[in-house]
Structure formats: structure tokens, C-alpha cells
A and B are shown apart, each in its own frame.
Chain A
Amino acid sequence: MRKRLYRVLVALIGALMVLLVGSAGAAQATATPPPDATAIQVTLQDEANKDAQGNPKPISGVTLEVSKDGEKAGEGVTDAKGVAIIVVQELGKYTVTLDEKTLPEGTVLDESTKNEATVHVRFQGPNNRAIFPIGVTAGEKSNFGKDLVKNLRAGIVFALVLCLAGLGFSLIFGTTGLSNFAHGELLTFGAVMAWTFDQIFKTGALASVSVLLAGIIAVALGGLGGYVQDKVMWGPLRRRGTGLIAMMIVSIGLAIFLRYLFQYFYGSSTRSLSQYSGQQREQHWYYLGLSLADREAIIVLISIVTIIGVCLWLAKSRMGKAMRAVSDNPALAASSGLRVDSVITNAWVIGGALTALSGVLYAMQLQVNSFMGMRILLVILAAVTLGGLGTIWGALVGSMVIGLVYELGPLFGVPTSIKEIGPLLIMIVILLVRPQGILGRKERLG
């Protein structure tokens, strides 16, 4: 379909009238929202079609759908002023989708314009307006090169965070053979612990280093959590000779248990850490020409240092070598005099701490939510399967590839709303052609 290119600049104004009192009413389009209701206000304007005063003309009669976590939360149609007010039930992150079929004749979104935008409905008092465009930024057409840089940046950060979680998974899988379906919840654990301690520190004398301290505590607790898990549950199960499939089902029970325990204490809303979340991106020579927020630079630095540290530790140290020996052949390792059980406990501690660190970094970059681990678990599985289940170096390679695919996929035709399917499809294909993964060895297969 060849388009006459009227560029629609779609300035959305999220005017967030807050104060959730009672029920916010049914989600429907009304020009005047009920007072005290939380609402998203969207304004559509045609940038290519201005009136005599140079103001863009409003676009009316366009259907907008608001959804949260993939579920529809409301719908509205723009009125004569191009304004739609969509009432939503609770605070959080919403996605506004524009139905292109309802655009007036002769008006189309230009090709690089996405028909979606994300709105953060925050608790910040009435009439707090945030302007953001769908697709085209004010007067500037986005192009493939810019998108590539943007997604590459997001991809690298995500890949490194994923790498830490993948390393944790791989250490545990390598030494015990367990595909731990509760691994996502270990990541959530790190994030919610960081948030909890951040809440404690942020008002006191330590406010300036609140997130840093909270992060360190969360990582330590993650390691402790791994230790406790192994001592209380997995260790006794191993000694009883419980089969791997039984353990896998136990881990599913644990995942459901932890996930709803988090929801019990933290609810289902999305939270941010007190520091760093609103940082602007800046360009510095030491960012090699990229524009990064300081937060992102720190995340990249912490991840790389940790990954190198863990790799060196595995390659050089006594315990690292023992861990790789157990991973290769537990029976042989045991008969050569290694205490397999204490090696496995070590793997749980390191794995738990690495995964908690991954959760903390994820919370810094994005947000904290009880269900974040569940969503990322399959991506972790895809990463370690791609690299080769149970191989440490495989987890590194797999995570880097999957993290980049996850963020770059949308540039190459993967629909943005379902970018998770890129990694999952890669995983299925890799199992088809090379089931041992990129770096795995054949004998690991059944």
C-alpha cells in the first residue's frame, strides 16, 4: 500500500488526575472524566496539516485502546478537539494503541511510526502533564539508524543483566542437573529486597547511597536464600534420591508459592527505586560516542566486572575448578575425593547471589513488580538452552545473543507487543538443529 505521506504527529498528553477514591467507574470514553478518577488523556494532532495560526489540526473519531500487561483496560474515541479521556482502574504502566483503521481518510501514520506508546500513570497530583509522541518525535522523523542505536543500547543492557541470571541458572543446572523453574522468582527476590531496603534507607542519613546499600544487602540475601534453599530443601531431596523430574515439579510449586508470596506482601503494582530512575541520557567521550544515562553505564560496568570475576573464579580458583568437575561428571568427582554436596551448596549460594544482582540491576533499569521474574524466566531458559544447558561459557554467549535479539527483533519485523517470541522461537529452532546448543557437547543429551 503506497501511502500519501501525511505525517501524523500524535502528541499524547497523559494528564493524570489522581486520587483513587472508591471505584473509578467503568472504563469508557467520556469527555469529562468522573472527578478523582485516574485517567489517561490522549490528544491526537496532525502535524502535517496546520491551520492559519500554525497549530496542528486535531484528529477526531480515532479509536484508542489502553491495555495493561497485555490485557485490555479501556477504550476511547477522540472528540472534535482530538482529545480522548480513558479512565483506568489503577496506577501503573499502560500501553496506548491507536487503531489505524479508524484514522480519517487520507491520513496515515508514516512508515516508521509505531501505533503504540507507553504511559506511566503515577501518583503525582492532578494536572501533571507528560507529553510524549507516538513514533515521530516532534518534527523529526525517526530512522533505522537511530532506532538501531537505541535498541542496541537497550539490548546490551538487557543482555548483560540476563547474562548474570543465566550464569546463576547454569551454575545450579550444571552441578545438580535441575532445571529450576523458580529461577525467575530468585530474580524477583533480588528486586523486591532492593526496593524494600531502599524504602528503609531513603529517608534516613544514608539517603545518598540508599540504592547502593539496598542493592548490596539484596545480593547478600540472594546468596543466603540460595544457601537456605539448598540446606532446607534441595539437599535433603538429593540425599533421598528424588528424581530430577520430581524436583522440577517441586521447583514449579516453589515458583508459584514465591510468586504469590511476593504478591501478598507487595501487591501487583509496579514500583521504582528512589534513586537514578529518572536520569537523562548524556553524551560523553568516555561512553564512546553513545548517549547513556549514568545508571546504564554503571549497570554495564557492574555486570561486566561481575561476569569477568565469576569466569576467572571458575577458571582459576580451587572451588571453581571443583564446580566444573562436578558439572562434568558428579560420580567421577565424588570418587576423586571432592565433597560434591558442599560444591553444590556453593553453586546455590553463588547462583542465588548472581541472580539477585541481576534482579537489582533490572529494577534499576526498569521497575519492580511481583511478576517480573515469571516474564523473564522463559527468556533465561532460551538463553541458556541456546548456549548449551549447563555450560558456563554457553550461558554467556547465549545470553548476549538472546538479549540482543529481544531488543533488536522489533527492527526486523517482530511485532513490538510480543517481542518475547523472538528468543523463544530461536530456542525451538536451535533444539531442532543443534540440541546441545552452541557450546554444548553431544553427550549431554538423553
Chain B
Amino acid sequence: MDILDILRAALQQALGPQAIVFALAAIGLNIHFGYTGLLNFGQAGFVAVGAYGLAVSVVTFGAPFWLGIVMSLVAPLVLAVILGVPTLRLRADYLAIVTIAAAEVLRFVFGSVEMKDTFGGSNGLNGFARPFQQANPYSSGIDLGIISFGRNDLWSLTVGWILVALCCVLVWALMRSPWGRVLRSIREDEDAVRSLGKNVFAYKMQALALGGVIGGLGGMFLALKQASVVPSDYSTLMTFYAFAALLLGGAARVMGPVIGSILFWFLIAGLGSFFSQSAGEGGWIPSVIMTDTQASVIRYIVLGLAIMLLMIFRPQGIFGDRREIAIDGR
């Protein structure tokens, strides 16, 4: 058992690109769920259209790179409008069911054999990230003692964490504006807001679109970092991981999703490394109880348990305020 190894794996993930993607997705979810009280279970769909917006316009339609970036911001916006119009007037669980269904429909379509020419099927698309890689100003990687990042990773991380910081500033500024106060009051009591003459539907739609676009940024970042898009990345599990990160950090807090995402990946990678060292040959857990393959599964069992316990005993997460969580609505 090598504690340093576990720590290294955990830190590498906690500061790495995965944490950035889920931080962005969770910031979007925070606007939906934390501030407005919208139960969006299809954040993976927004992330996916962000990624595919870039990839499809550049690879399939041969558009220039900057247009791809624009498309990757426009696509989540369009998705938000399409989803919002029918469902935002309905009860929270309807929105949840429709968004999760829409995200799955998108993933099926992106991965389908029949539309391989446009979306690349289950292999996805690649070959669109060259301008991003060429813009890399670093000449070498960085070694921080315990962990190290290569040249390309360092460039992705710089861009990614700047994106996260910008989004945080945006959310902070918006949520202390009058607009943000209306969102919070919609979460608390929709009818009261309506009786004050506010157009609740329009506010919800704006929140859904803004959160979706931030989620789409996460998709764009993932696509640029991996230099490819693959449909299996955008399963419903992505949404639930983002939810777990948000709940861990604390909903309705500006830094909640970011800290949550860092902690989430720290724990997932740390547990993964811990159990893979413990099981199998040379580990202290006999293989009758746990084999190598089982060791790779156990962190997800812990994750499921953690989501349940967190929601039951501390729904506000680490930094949140219990009075600010939209969990009592119908």
C-alpha cells in the first residue's frame, strides 16, 4: 500500500480536466437547481450538444474553428428553448423526466449507426482541435513534486480553470443582481413571484438557457481537451456525477459546485486507487472477497451510498445553507 500513490492519483484527478468538465456542468446545474429550483436531470444532454456543436460544425460541415466555438454556445441555447417551452410550466418531476429522456435521445442519435455520416457513430468525431493545440504557449510541462502535467494538459488546465473562474464571477455577479433575486424567489415561492407581476416562465427559461450554456462550455472544453467527441461520455451518469459534485459542495453557493467537483474527483480517484492497491495480488483484501474487477466497481457503490446519505443527512452539502435548498417543492 503506497499512500503517496493514492494521493497522487487523487490529486491528479482533482485538479485535472475531469474536475473542470464537471465543475462547469455543476455550475450550470447550480443555476438550474440551486438558484431557480429547476430539476434538470439532462445536463449531460447540454454538455453533449456543446461538444457536438463544435465537432459537427468543424468536421462534418467544414466550418472554421471560431464558428465551431460559436455553434457550441448556440446549440445548448437552442436545446434549452426546445426543452423549456413544453416543460417549464409543469411540475418539477415532469421537467426531470423530460430532460433525462431528451439527454438519452440525443446520446442515442449521436451514437447511431444510421447517422454515422453526421455524428460519427459510436466512434465519435475527431480532428477539430488543431487550432486549440496550436495556440499552446507552453514549451514544456510542469512538475509539482507529487503530481505533474504534460505540455498539452497544462494548456488545457489553464484554459479550463480560467473558464471556471469566469463562470463563477458571472454567477456571483448575476445572483446579487435584481435578476438573481427573482430567480431565488421563484425557487422559494413561484406563486408569490407571479402575483408580483413577474413573468416566471421567462425567468425560468433564461435560467435554463444560461445554465445549459455553461454546461455546454464544459462539453466544449472536454471536446478540445480530448480532441475528440464520443457519445458514451455523455450518459445519464454524467448528469448524476455533476449532481453529486454540486450536492457535495453545496447548492446555491457560488463556489459550491467547484469545490464539490474537486472533492468529488479527489474521492473517486483516491478510492479507486486505494481499492485497486488493496485487492488483487499483493493487496490485503483476499481475492475471495474482492477481485481486481470488483475493486474497480466499489467506488461507484460508495458514490451511490454517499449521494443517499448526503441528501438525507446534509442536503446543504459542505458550504450550503439548508434554508436555501429547493428540496421541499412538489
Contact = CB atoms under 8 A, between A and B. Distances in A.
B177 interface: no
Interface stretch (B53-61, B193-201, B300-308): B300-308
A267 interface: yes
Given A257-B308, A260-B300, A417 B329 contact: no
B327 interface: yes
B39 A245 contact: yes
Given A253-B308, A260-B304, A246 B327 contact: yes
Interface string A306-323: 000000000000000000
B136 interface: no
Contact of B122 (A71, A245, A255, A264): A71
Given A418-B112, A431-B87, A256 B93 contact: no
Contacts of B321: none
A415 B330 contact: no
A19 interface: no
Contacts of A249: 243, 247, 307, 311, 327
Given A72-B123, A242-B327, A257 B305 contact: yes
B315 interface: yes
A252 B293 contact: no
A424 B101 contact: yes
A179 interface: yes
Interface in B293-328: 293-294, 297-298, 300-301, 303-312, 315, 326-328
A116 B97 CA distance: 31
Contact of A415 (B94, B114, B309): B114
Nearest to A236: B312
A350 to B, nearest CB: 22
A303 interface: no
A157 interface: no
A427 interface: yes
Contacts of A338: none
A249 B102 CA distance: 19
A417 B112 contact: yes
Task: Give the interface size class of chain B.
Answer: 35 or more
Contact of A242 (B100, B306, B312): B312
A382 interface: yes
A250 B308 contact: yes
Nearest to B99: A428
A435 B87 CA distance: 9
A255 B304 contact: yes
A interface majority secondary structure: helix
Given A431-B94, A435-B90, A382 B308 contact: no
Contacts of A421: 104-105, 108-109
B180 interface: no
B151 interface: no
Contacts of A130: none
A427 B97 contact: yes
A248 interface: yes
Nearest to A244: B330
B122 A70 contact: yes
A415 to B, nearest CB: 4
B330 A256 contact: no
Interface in A378-417: 378, 381-382, 385, 389, 415, 417
B137 to A, nearest CB: 36
B301 A253 contact: no
A250 B304 contact: no
B111 interface: yes
Given A246-B315, A256-B303, A257-B301, A428 B86 contact: yes
Contacts of B315: 246
B86 to A, nearest CB: 4
A378 B305 CA distance: 22
Given A237-B312, A244-B329, A415-B112, A253 B306 contact: yes
B97 A264 contact: no
A243 B114 CA distance: 43
B303 A179 contact: no
A67 B112 contact: no
A418 B109 contact: yes
B122 A246 contact: no
Kindly list the 8 A-B residue pairs having the minimum CB-CB distance in the complex, ordered from nearest: A257-B304, A446-B91, A253-B307, A256-B304, A243-B328, A253-B308, A246-B327, A415-B114
Given A245-B328, A260-B297, A428-B105, 12 more contacts: A72-B122, A179-B93, A246-B311, A249-B247, A253-B306, A254-B308, A256-B300, A264-B298, A381-B101, A418-B108, A431-B86, A445-B94
Interface of A: 67, 70-72, 97, 115-116, 177, 179, 237, 242-246, 248-250, 252-261, 263-264, 267, 378, 381-382, 385, 389, 415, 417-418, 420-421, 424-425, 427-428, 431-432, 435, 445-446
